[in-house]
Structure 1
Amino acid sequence: MKNIFKINGIEFGGEKLPIIAGPCVIESRDHILYMAEEIKKITDKNNLPLIFKSSFDKGNRSSHSSFRGPGIQEGLKILEDVKQAFNILLTTDIHSADQANPVAEIVDIIQIPAFLCRQSDIISAAVKTRKTINVKKGQFMAPWDVKNIVEKVDKENGDKLLLTERGSSFGYNNLVSDMTSIPIMQDFGVPVIFDATHSVQRPGGLGKITGGAREFIPTLAKAAVAAGCNGVFMEVHDNPKNAKSDASTQWPIKKLDDLLNSIKRIKDAIL
């Protein structure tokens, strides 16, 4: 396994701090193109590498009545339009093994959702595409237990793996972030990303939808960078309160510049 590697010129595990950012779910083609353009302007301004993220299907929504997205066929076409328009790296998540190959044709990093991080068939299918994969540590999992995930990837001869810390369950409807999980997982020889937005969720806390505490996103993002994370993941929206998914935890794009500037200064200070 490699603890430092590049994906189309973007280095993970090195001195730069890659940012994985975008709306939680594809709400429309026009909205995604707008968000990609605006986020890229802000990351470019702060000299931070960008991997644009959005989901084509939210298969793990709390309620059957919640918006899920456009689906794989239309969603991948929209993501391909983003790549062609702005020449940026892409990531999105898969929810079954059969989605790995079509997704790999478009994106640069395949994301395995936290709820599915132990699903061996999904991990195997993703690794076999030879793309970089990003496995989000389940809220139910101790950081030292991700060694089993690393070994699964290694068994399939995968050599480009990211692990993402996104909080741990703390009783009912609550998460906490243990920053010691970052160096613990890094000790397995892989770069570790910190998910600053899902870490402030209150899972199921609003009944049919997930709640959250958006105001703590900067606190956790800064703490994670100070703890030495190798990148920051955050979902970003131009109108979070009216977002079709994760409305309580997406970061407002109007505040993104200030937040990225803050974490970049922390990153520069600890180099």
Structure 2
Amino acid sequence: MFIFQIRPNNVTFIGVLSACAHNGLVDDGQRYWSTMQEMGIKASMENYGCMVDLLCRSGLLDEAYSFVTSMPILPNSVIWRNLLVASKSSNRTDIVGLASKKLFELEPQNPENYVLLSNLYALNSQWDRVRYMRKKMKDNNVTVVAGCSSIEINSYLHKFVVSDGSHPEIKEIRVVLREIADRVLRSGHKPWTAAVLHDVGEEEKEIALCEHSERLAIAYGLLKTKAPHVIRVVKNLRFCPDCHEVSKIISKSYGREIIVRDRVRFHRFIGGSCSCKDFW
């Protein structure tokens, strides 16, 4: 646009900053943010959200927190939620406390906020707090949409939920899952059991990971199709981190292209890598 002397606006920068966020381009994103300020373009809430997303996805939690608390406009729920997600692997209880407080003030009936905070407590084995959050959800009549992954085979849509045993070909699917687990084990991958948010042993967690909805759908795709057919899966929630890593291994081990659309973005797995470059 600069080459053709076309003046960008704040919507233009939403696209640019979002692209930087999803590709981990922190320096470029900060440079474009400065350019926007220098051009006198007033930043919208979406522009601020993109910058927070960029910093959070890149692990720059302190910078993201400083950016949010210095915003000239009141941050919305999306920004506070990003900050809360980014703080899940840190010990920043101050950020967790502030972000969760703001979220419940802005969206007291949004189940995602309850689940997000409950999951964060579970990651840190704070099971009393997990139970408290779930009780709070029940007391406030907050219902949660179950995670679901879908795949279309021969013009028919197949839907899976975690540990779904209802599919008519579940026995064959579980054979594929065992084969996947064996290949994943041989690859040296260690299951990220923190993704299982229940107070159970490590072995039970590893078993639960193997039957997450996206893994069931991918396994069914392997069962029913052959290369070069692309396995396409849609999930209504965010991709499980362990399933994301396993999907990379599957794409390399089986020589298959896999595309998963989760709540955040598209993931294209080819040859052991993902198009998101592990930023999502």
Q: TM-score, normalised by structure 1?
A: 0.28
| Bigger helix fraction | 2
> Larger Rg: 1 or 2?
2
**Higher normalized contact order (CA 8 Å, seq sep 6+, divided by chain length):** 1
Q: TM-score, normalised by structure 2?
A: 0.28
